Structure 1
Amino acid sequence: MKIGLALDDRRKEKRVALRPEELGELLKKNQLYVERGAGLGVGITDAEYRQAGAHVVSKAHAYACPLVVKLREPNETELKMMRPGSTLFSMLHLNNRLNLARLLQRYRINSIAMEKIKDPLGERIIEDLHEVGYWGMMKGLELWGRNPSKATVKIMGCGRIAFGAIQAASRKQTRVILLNKREINEMYKHLPGTDILVDGLTWPAELRGKIYLVTRRMLRLMRPGAALIGLVSNPAGKYPIETMRPTTLSDISYKMNGVIHAACWGWSGLDPVNVTRRYSIQIAPVLSDIVKSAPDHLPEYIKQAMLEAKP
């Protein structure tokens, strides 16, 4: 099969879905067409892809392949380059991106969502949750701008993202308080004395935009120059913090009512080389399973992540 590896060319986005090191098995029976410059952001040259057996081609050529791999979702211009009936393998989060879902249907593009590829225990196979928490916390301390050992950090959530944040804070000798389920519903009690509040919650869809754990009025309870850090991706912009909205690597923070806000869509992009390595190791074997099966005979764990375009 012909596979296109597309460049992630958002401003300050340097990661790429596949490195040359992981291509050996894939290239035994398939051809990989890498968009020119796809790996330059993490120090991988076009020559290195060629040495691994891939072809380096134009953007249009890469997107014309029957299967296109891209870490972050393509924009509409890029989707238009894909052929009807082809398949996109990418981080999609379609439940929060209804417009993207509509575009995929409009251009008759099948999709496989990387974030929905799961093991038999229901755990994500392609993920960087710990790195998201770690680098979000590191950036939060930087944005706060003072001695980290003097900060009081409070964290909502207790999953892998929150653990990454805890690890980052502990390395900076920061005082960390983990808030439990009862405490997060009484945030007015816990905002006073807080320098950095970290949101590591996966907020249920039915509560988004309806229930806020931290309201606009509560910001006045926080210390001057305090920071709110949102770690869980939510492109729809519906957080448990009323004043939070999505930010990007190129425009990572804003200030409201004297409080710094940052909810970056792609925190792990702050460590592009190591995160590219992690993703490539995770993606390559899944991609091999995709290409060695007919579309109607895909392994079940891939089928559950696939959305077929209507004819």
Structure 2
Amino acid sequence: MITLGFPRMHKEENEKRDFLPDFFQRLKVEKGEFYLEKGYGSKMGISEEEYLKANENIKFVSKEECYKQKIVVVLRSPEFDEIDIMEDGSTLVSMLHYPTRPTRVERLKSKNIFGVSMDSLRNDFSERIVVNYNGTSGNGIEMAFEELSKSMKDFYSKDREVINVTIMGMGMVGLYAARAAGKYGNKDLNNKMAGFGTKGIKVTMLPRTITGDKEEIIKELKKADILVDATTRDDASKFIIENELIAHLKPHAIILDLTADPYLVDTNPIGVKAIEGIPTGTLDKPVIYPEDEIYNTIPKEVKTHNRRTVVGCNAWPGIKPEECMYLYGMQLFPIVQQLIRLDRNDFSLENDDFFNRAIYRATIEYFEKHEK
């Protein structure tokens, strides 16, 4: 029987997400042994007994033993010291983010690890298969409006103007953010503002032709009450919004970081965020105010003089863990099923199976041939 390891994620205290028992129940028909790290599911109130009831082939072991299995499945990418525990030639299913993590790609290649990046699992129309757009955009917009209600003095006044939500990026994350923002102006949804008779929300989405035009982007920044970064970049070493432009935002404006791109100092040039000088939020600290000490962790070559309240999280769907993991479990089931049944060399774009092709698109080999 093939062995699968499911380690827990320990990056933040508020990281509670583990796959739910129903995910393992669906996998019980497969010839696999499932090694779960001790305490798996405990932060969501799920006991070991519930997992064992779902699948009798589950064993609870140490984190190290989980990483030594043939296939390792963990939502957020392991740290390098955890990757080093893995057996050469094993498989890692995780959010690996190849385009913005070149050193991670090299570490995986050095151990001949078959990477299957959840964020790169795409169908034949380039649409993501494992994704929680609502959990990212919806949670982010909700938190951004909560902070705006504190910083904007006339937020609940019927005499104020419309609230302007400006979204950079027109992909699915941006589209879901626009939809989520629009609900705050809908009186039929019984939202907090509706009872005060306030004016609604104006959502503006900016394509690259605008974000790349300094004169036009300044005009948009001056109007924004919430500025949303939902961009994707071809070059993670270049800013879209330089720090000097943040000065054009209203003093009460909120910057919502949905991409959560990190600063990477182990590359040359360094990897930066789309908006220069904003910190990266976490599940433990998703709201960062202008005088927060976290600014001291930003690389010194990055300008941070101009600041606004930043709402950001490097794991947005984790705000609502059970809802998130139910969705991911449903989406990942056929992927893990294929990995149990097949050899790593069986995946290709020419295969007749839909999920087989999707898995190949999530490999380092495909990334380096077609995406890099």
Q: Same fold (TM over 0.5)?
A: yes
What CA distance in whole angstroms lies between the structure 1 residues aligned with 2:184 and 2:217? 25
Distance 1:194 1:40, change over 3 A: same
Q: Residues 63-101 of structure 1, C-alpha deviation per residue, up to 9 Å, x if partnerless? A: 111110000001122222211221111110022112222
Bigger drift between 281-290 and 80-89 goes to 80-89
Q: Does 1:8 align with 2:65?
A: no
Q: Does 1:80 align with 2:84?
A: yes
Describe the SS at the equivalent of 1:24. helix
Contact 1:86/1:110, CA 8 A, preserved across alignment? yes
Describe the SS at the equivalent of 2:282. coil
Distance 1:32 1:152, change over 3 A: same
Map 1:1-311 to 2 at 5 A.
1-11=2-12, 12-16=14-18, 18-28=19-29, 29-53=31-55, 54-146=58-150, 147=155, 151-173=163-185, 175-181=201-207, 182-184=209-211, 185=213, 186-205=216-235, 208-210=236-238, 212=240, 214-235=241-262, 236=264, 237-252=271-286, 253-255=288-290, 257-298=306-347, 299-307=356-364
1:254 CA drift (Å) = 4.3
Contact 1:5/1:35, CA 8 A, preserved across alignment? yes
**TM-score when scaled to structure 1?**
0.89
Q: Which has the larger radius of gyration?
A: 2
Describe the SS at the equivalent of 2:64. helix
Structure 1 runs of 4+ aligned residues shifted over 4 Å read none
Describe the SS at the equivalent of 1:172. helix
Distance 1:166 1:295, change over 3 A: same
Q: Give me the identity figure in percent.
A: 28
What amino acid sits opposite 1:302 in the alignment?
Answer: I
What CA distance in whole angstroms lies between the structure 2 residues aligned with 1:172 and 1:273? 25
What CA distance in whole angstroms lies between the structure 2 residues aligned with 1:42 and 1:154? 35
Distance 1:293 1:101, change over 3 A: same
Q: Residues 265-306 of structure 1, C-alpha deviation per residue, up to 9 Å, x if partnerless? A: 111111111111111110111100111112221323212322
CA RMSD for the aligned pairs? 2.2
Describe the SS at the equivalent of 1:261. strand
What CA distance in whole angstroms lies between the structure 1 residues aligned with 2:237 and 2:26? 46
What CA distance in whole angstroms lies between the structure 2 residues aligned with 1:83 and 1:145? 50
What CA distance in whole angstroms lies between the structure 2 residues aligned with 1:301 and 1:196? 36
What CA distance in whole angstroms lies between the structure 2 residues aligned with 1:218 and 1:304? 37
Contact 2:181/2:203, CA 8 A, preserved across alignment? no
Distance 1:283 1:188, change over 3 A: same
What CA distance in whole angstroms lies between the structure 2 residues aligned with 1:73 and 1:87? 13
**TM-score when scaled to structure 2?**
0.75
1:220 CA drift (Å) = 2.0
Describe the SS at the equivalent of 1:65. coil
Who is 2:297 aligned against?
Answer: none
What CA distance in whole angstroms lies between the structure 2 residues aligned with 1:15 and 1:258? 32
Contact 2:167/2:206, CA 8 A, preserved across alignment? no
Bigger drift between 247-256 and 51-60 goes to 247-256
Stretches of structure 2 lacking an aligned partner (at least 5 in a row): 186-199, 265-270, 291-303, 348-355, 366-372
1:132 CA drift (Å) = 0.7
Aligned length: 304
